[in-house]
Amino acid sequence: MVGVLPTGPLNAITDVEGVRVGHSTRIEGDDIRTGVTAIIPGPGNLYTHPVPAWLYVGNGYGKLVGATQIQEFGELETPVLLTCTLCVWSAANALKEWVYEQPGMGEHTVNPVVGETNDGAVNNMWADVIGHDEVYEALNTASSGPVAEGSVGAGVGTQAFAWKGGIGTSSRLLPQSLGGYTVGVLVQTNFGGVLTMNGAPVGRELGQYSYRAQLEKKGVDDRQEDGSIMMVVATDAPLTARALDRVAKRAMMGLARTGSFASNGSGDYVIAFSTNPDVRRPREGMEPFVAPSLTNEAMSPLFAATVEATEEAIYNAIFKATTVESSRGKREAIPLDDLMRVLKKHGVLNWDREMSPGN
């Protein structure tokens, strides 16, 4: 367990009502190891009734289709897709086609949102194999149930701290005394640094960390610090785009807890949105739209939930990942026995059983 707040029943972004997640995994031949993950932020027509949203850029070395309109309107009008770096444009085109097939759509321009991380170490992303079939599979199979994690969908070929990473998710439930809201996070990891889990120096003790070659004056720099991460934060709290900007920034704090320092070659992006039906305003109309909005004072519990859920989502991506190999290279899963030894040594396991309300 990470932190002090309880998880939702699924410990996934789908604990936030209305959110659905689907994957399409593509493993073919000796060098195709990739996929696409779809996050559908709510029911109904997202174009006619978009959800409030915001995008925060921790470090902007990446390709994120649809970014500027999110920040201009403070709204999300399509599902969010995650995929490989050179697949974003074909995925965006397929997403556009899928949106036009939804009930209530006419001949409008639409702003597909597609993020990415680079899986080129094991995947031939220049082959551009993510298109109509893969995107439609991810979207049409998206569900509100458990979310597959690790080497699946957009996480097939990605890493975390030079071990195999991928897709991870987690959630936090706030008690009624703190608002009673849910926060869910889904990540696509592909970044480096010095892995820390619940404060335990895992990367240092297992001998895998950024700048090891220079610090030990041996070997060749393998650029373990570089890479990217996409973080998607959902909540059912009634929030404006401005408030979601504040929430999105806190996801970076959860990322930092894991040992990342957002390197120069990293694309670190956070998309945050609210699923609360009372804040989904119609796209058209001349009358003022009145919606509930939390006070600034009420935001702090959501910040805490976002930090904890982001941190744990990253850990879950690492724990659930399996080794992936191709003719291009290999991403090895973290050795779980060694990892557990380090965690036990530093006493960071079973916090949920050891924490006492009276202490």
Cα separation, 119 vs 232, in Å, equals 19
Residue 268 is a catalytic residue:
yes
User: Of 90, 144, 266, 274, which is the active-site residue?
Assistant: 266
DSSP run (H or E) holding 244: helix 241-257
User: Of 226, 236, 245, 268, which is the active-site residue?
Assistant: 268
Whole-Å CA distances, 83 to 33, 39, 116, 214, 277: 11, 12, 5, 32, 28
Closest CA relative to residue 75, chosen from 46, 98, 99: 46
User: Of 170, 228, 274, 326, which is the active-site residue?
Assistant: 228
Residue 228 is a catalytic residue:
yes
Cα separation, 66 vs 283, in Å, equals 17
- 107, exposed or middle or buried, with CB in 10 Å at 0-12, 13-18, 19+? exposed
Question: Under DSSP, is residue 337 helix (H, G, I), strand (E, B) or coil?
Answer: helix
Amino acid code (one letter) for 204: R
Residue 266 is a catalytic residue:
yes
Other beta carbons within 10 Å of 317: 29
Looking at the annotation, which residues are catalytic?
228, 266, 268
